[in-house]
Amino acid sequence: MMSKPDFTGKTVVITGAGRGLGAAFAVVLTDLGAEVIMTGRNTEQVTTAAEAIGLRTGKRPRTLVFDLADPGQVTLTAKKLRDEMAKIDILINNGAQWLAGKMDEHDAYAIVSTISSGVTGTLLFTRGLIKPLEASGAGDILNIVSISGLPNVPLQGASIAFHAAKHGQTGMTEGLKQELKGRPVRVSALYPPNLVDISPLDTQAWEAPRPADSLVTNRDIVEAGIFALTRPRHVTLASLVIDPDHGGTFSE
């Protein structure tokens, strides 16, 4: 039996951590001993999530509020972290704006912000943290993409802008792997399907048995991510595609 992972002494930065999958990663990694920095664009969501984790563990994660769609905010926040942190061990790029519907239903701002947050903002934030990730000596970048970033996946209600952003994240991941080859920063990507949103704070839902025909949940993705992050350094799980089972859909 595998031992319980221990992230004591690890500093983890998570984007899009105010709710859903990002918040679930923050809860579990704090439980496992990590020093977590939660980021998001909604002050109330990020603060509420961090306070709930603090009540659960006695260790409240640090929070940073900025909008991934705003290059200025992204650059300044990354610089702040770079100046303050001697090292960052793990960056989980989870933040992205969801946009549903057809392209003629959206204004230009919605399209631009969806693509900017997913691609430009995520790349700028990652670039800004490469130095402290390298300083870790064993840094990890884990990109939470989506099966929408894979070839030939139906839109299933997702907008073209979201679809394009996720394909951009796939390209970014491939580029990071090549550019960081030989440096002490490992790059992995998860490709989840549409998820059932459950929280580790809801112990009953989180630990409930899941029969074979269950839909994929946040727990499944968090466990896959932690598995990738705890592989020996000579192993990189470059891409993990989580297929939807019975009734799963192909959107986010």
Domain boundaries, the chain: 11-241
pLDDT number for residue 1: 39
CA terminus-to-terminus distance, the chain: 33
Architecture field, domain 11-241:
3-Layer(aba) Sandwich (3.40)
- What are the pLDDT tens digits along the chain (252 aa)? 357 899 999 999 999 999 999 999 999 999 999 999 999 999 999 999 999 999 999 999 999 999 999 999 999 999 999 999 999 999 999 999 999 999 999 999 999 999 999 999 999 999 999 999 999 999 999 999 999 999 999 988 999 999 999 999 999 999 999 999 999 999 999 999 989 999 999 999 999 998 888 889 999 999 999 999 999 999 999 999 998 655 444 443
Between the alpha carbon of residue 252 and those of residues 18, 97, 111, 117, 150, the distances in Å are 17, 10, 16, 15, 12
Beta-sheet strand order (sheet of 185-191)? 62-65, 35-40, 11-14, 90-93, 139-144, 185-191, 239-241
pLDDT of residue 126: 98
Q: What amino acid occupies position 120? A: T
Give 214's contacts (C-beta < 8 A, 6+ positions apart).
196, 245, 246
Res 68: pLDDT = 97
The alpha carbon dihedral of 170, 174, 180, 183 has a sign of positive
Here the tokens at position 56 are: 């659960």
Task: Please give the pLDDT value at position 251.
Answer: 40
pLDDT given for residue 249 in this prediction: 47
Residue 14 β-bridge partners: 38, 92
CB 34 within 8 A of CB 6: no
Q: Which pLDDT score, from 0 to 100, does residue 202 have?
A: 93
Taking each helix axis from N to C end, the angle separating 20-31 and 43-57, rounded to the nearest 10 degrees, works out to 30
Bridge partner residues of 140 (DSSP): 90, 186
